[in-house]
Amino acid sequence: MTKTLEDYKNGQVLLIDKPLEWTSFQVVNKLRWHIKQQFNIKKIKVGHAGTLDPLATGLLIICTGKQTKNIHEYQGQIKEYTGTFTIGATTPSYDLETEVNETFTTEHITEDLLHKTTKQFLGKIQQKPPIFSAIKKDGKRLYELARKGETTEIKAREVEINEFEITNINLPKVDFRIVCSKGTYIRSIAYDYGIALNSGAHLSTLRRTKIGDFSTENAQSIEGFIEQLSE
């Protein structure tokens, strides 16, 4: 059923499967522009409930109109991620945004060790966000400082890991599934997991599959939304 302008103003919750290399902000801008064009209006509130890095894909909750007031509620819900760690090498950003800066031995790593090590991360843990993150310090985002080569001390914060399982092993690639609280950085888990293995690791792929009861199974592509909008 085609939605009206009133529907979007009263508030819609849109589930979008974010493509690789798009920022969450770009997705919001694209959808807002098409809604404005479709209904020939000058402005409408559109926002997302929880950023996904450009190198991640998956579920992005987009709220319109009055639903933007509820964004914080969606942000606070438990999230599920799947992806791949590359074992034996680290990067400054903990993912593929930056080049490998150090390599480590992996000869001692067994399937048993990979599975057992996940247990160290379950429950409430202290985690340091990556220096390449959008967290602000003294009014500037950390990634802005990191890209200039400036180092800064980041305080650890408490996050909760509900589930952490290794789903496939093909060294140096290790696939995982993680269910965690708001504010968890999977890149930091990759880095810390590498240390716990007495080696190194970085995040090579990431996909957000669930936020609360919402799932990518019910999400649509940006193109799918635009097509539906103009029907």
Which residues participate in catalysis according to the annotation? 53
At residue 61, φ and ψ (nearest 5 deg) are -90, 120
The residue written with tokens 């930056």 in the block is 98
The crossing angle, in degrees rounded to 10, of helices 222-229 and 24-39 is 10
The residue written with tokens 């402005």 in the block is 43
Say if residues 44 and 8 touch (Cβ distance below 8 Å): yes
**How far is CA 106 from its chain centroid?**
27
Q: Phi-psi bin for 21: left (phi > 0), alpha (psi -120 to 50), beta?
A: left
